[in-house]
Amino acid sequence: MADRPALQIVRSDGTVARVTIARGDITRFSADALVNAANSALAGGGGVDGAIHDAAGPELMAELRARYRGCPAGSAVVTGSGRLAESGVRYVIHAVGPIWRGGSRGEAEQLSSAYRSALQLAREVGARSVAIPAISCGAYGYPLDAAAAVALRVVAQELETPGPLDLTTFVLHSAETAEAFSRVLSLRLDRVGDVAEGGERS
């Protein structure tokens, strides 16, 4: 699972946070927390949601049912990681994105809120690294380039806040999604003048 170029963010306390992109299976990615692209019922499903539940085992659903009664679009909740703990994952953050309905029904705001809520929870539980999928880009139909622009903007903004969270990796399953996110990341790198191969800032 090869990393792509990274956007580096120098924070007010002098620390540096990074946003990177990798293509692969998020359930095989080593991070303190994984973000799950959940549905509002927190009922499990297909795609990333199903893969994370399969890898984490039934204890993940048991904790969701015991602690929560759903989660509206734009929000997120956090649980333990079930059997993913064997891979070093401590938390699963279940973020609910919007269903794409043409773009005029608050989808961008809800998608922004889903990413923001997920990263705020990651900070609250003390995660230093987070692996995150392309929320709403599967069955929910959000256009890839538009979703990538929202995702990278919000994550970069959230990482400006000093704290334990210093690495967010978008782990994307399909080549098409990875290319869309890479295009948007490259535009951001060109705009801010950051060339971040191997963790160096130029």
CA atoms within 13 A on the CB side of 162: 6
Beta bridge partners of 18: 8, 167
Q: Which of 13, 25, 32, 49 is catalytic?
A: 49
> What span, in angstroms and rounded, lies between the C-alpha atoms of 167 and 78?
18
pLDDT of residue 190: 72
pLDDT of residue 16: 95
Centroid of chain to Cα 33: 9
pLDDT of residue 188: 83
Best CA proximity match to 113, nearest among 74, 145, 80: 74
> What span, in angstroms and rounded, lies between the C-alpha atoms of 168 and 161?
13
Range 72-84 burial, b when 16+ CB lie within 10 A, else e: ebbbbbbbebbeb
pTM: 0.92
pLDDT of residue 202: 27
State which fold the 7-199 domain adopts: Leucine Aminopeptidase, subunit E; domain 1 (3.40.220)
pLDDT of residue 36: 98
- Is 49 catalytic? The answer is yes
Can you state the angle between helices 144-159 and 175-192, rounded to 10 degrees?
A: 50
Under DSSP, the state recorded for 3 is B
pLDDT of residue 175: 95
Under DSSP, the state recorded for 140 is T
Beta pairing class for 167-172 and 33-38? unpaired
Each residue's pLDDT, cut to its tens digit, for the chain (202 residues) gives 444 568 999 999 999 999 999 999 999 999 999 999 999 999 999 999 999 999 999 999 999 999 999 999 999 999 999 999 999 999 999 999 999 999 999 999 999 999 999 999 999 999 999 999 999 999 999 999 999 999 999 999 999 999 999 999 999 999 999 999 999 999 888 765 443 333 333 2
